[in-house]
Structure 1
Amino acid sequence: MKPNILVEELEWQPHKTAKGVEIKVLVSKAVQGTDVTCMLVRIGRGLEVPEHIHENSDDILYPLSGKARMAVEGSEDFTLEPGVIVRVPKGTKHRIYDVSEDLLIYDVFWPALL
């Protein structure tokens, strides 16, 4: 197995539950056999990721560009932008809304989501 992945060769795919949002799966249990899923998430201005829960995986989000608001159950809403890292524990409701600048997020799920 190759240790390096050329991101530009991977395809953007529609997000399963967030209309207009796209994901690019970088590392997954299904493809590389890892116990972690890493992906890029692209959320255009004016779009959102509705409230949802990952029952069995922690979610770590690191925005690479853009700006939005994020709600995580048990905390006050905050601005999601480069320089902010977010950990959403498994079983915790969360959502991304009010995307004022196209958002690109490096998103990691542990254990693997895909």
Structure 2
Amino acid sequence: MSESETRVHTTHAQLATEVFDWGSIKWGVSAGLFPGAPLTAGEVIINPGKGHDLHTHPNSDEVLYVVDGEGVQTVGDSGEFPVKTGDFVFVPRGTVHSTFNTGWRQLRVIAIYTPGGAEQALREATDYARLAPGVPPVWERAR
């Protein structure tokens, strides 16, 4: 792509995979990929029986769309509620939240931060690893 061309598209094969003990993320839209992009969007995979810790995004609202699977979600004081394929969740900035997979297959979620940038904090997690584009994550079977 020449300097005069503007990127408008990404594919899974072009994207790094960010891996955690609970699953993985591929960020398909971000200011790093699309200079000036006002949001971040990516596919989150949460493995069966796994989830991420309660956390906040102080400067970004988050929208979650469940592409496939089932789980439980917490958002602020709402308590835990079930989520499944086709559900949307809105997480206002600064609100404590978490997602946990209660199903037998992977929970696939599209996550959107607005404004973008909240993904940077995930890279500070102790279980964070970054795989180069095209390198698949390897999961160990529990015994």
Same fold (TM over 0.5): yes
Which of 73, 76, 85 is the aligned partner of 2:76? 73
How many percent identity over aligned positions?
A: 26
Q: Which amino acid in the other structure matches residue 29 of structure 2?
A: V
Is 1:83 the counterpart of 2:94? The answer is no
TM-score by length of 1: 0.88
Q: Give the aligned partner of residue 9 of structure 1.
A: 14
Paired residue secondary structure (2:16)? coil
Distance 2:101 2:33 in 1: 33
Q: When you count strand as a share of all residues, which structure comes out higher? A: 1
Moved more, 97-106 or 37-46: 97-106
Calculate the aligned-residue CA RMSD, in Å: 1.5
Q: Give the aligned partner of residue 56 of structure 1.
A: 59
Q: Is the 8 A contact 1:43 1:99 kept in 2?
A: no
Gaps of 5+ in 1: none
TM-score by length of 2: 0.71
Deviation at 1:45, TM superposition (A): 0.1
Alignment: residue pair count = 111
Deviation at 1:98, TM superposition (A): 4.6
Deviation at 1:26, TM superposition (A): 0.3
Q: Is the 8 A contact 1:22 1:42 kept in 2?
A: yes
The structure number with the bigger radius of gyration is 2
| Cα 1:64–1:8 shift into 2, 3 Å | farther
Distance 1:37 1:99 in 2: 26
Gaps of 5+ in 2: 1-5, 120-143
Deviation string 1:60-91 (CA, Å, 9 cap, x unpaired) is 00010011101111213211211210000000
Q: Give the aligned partner of residue 24 of structure 2.
A: 22
1:102-113 aligned within 5 A: 102-113=106-117
Deviation string 1:11-60 (CA, Å, 9 cap, x unpaired) is 32114xxx232100101112212110001100010111110000000010
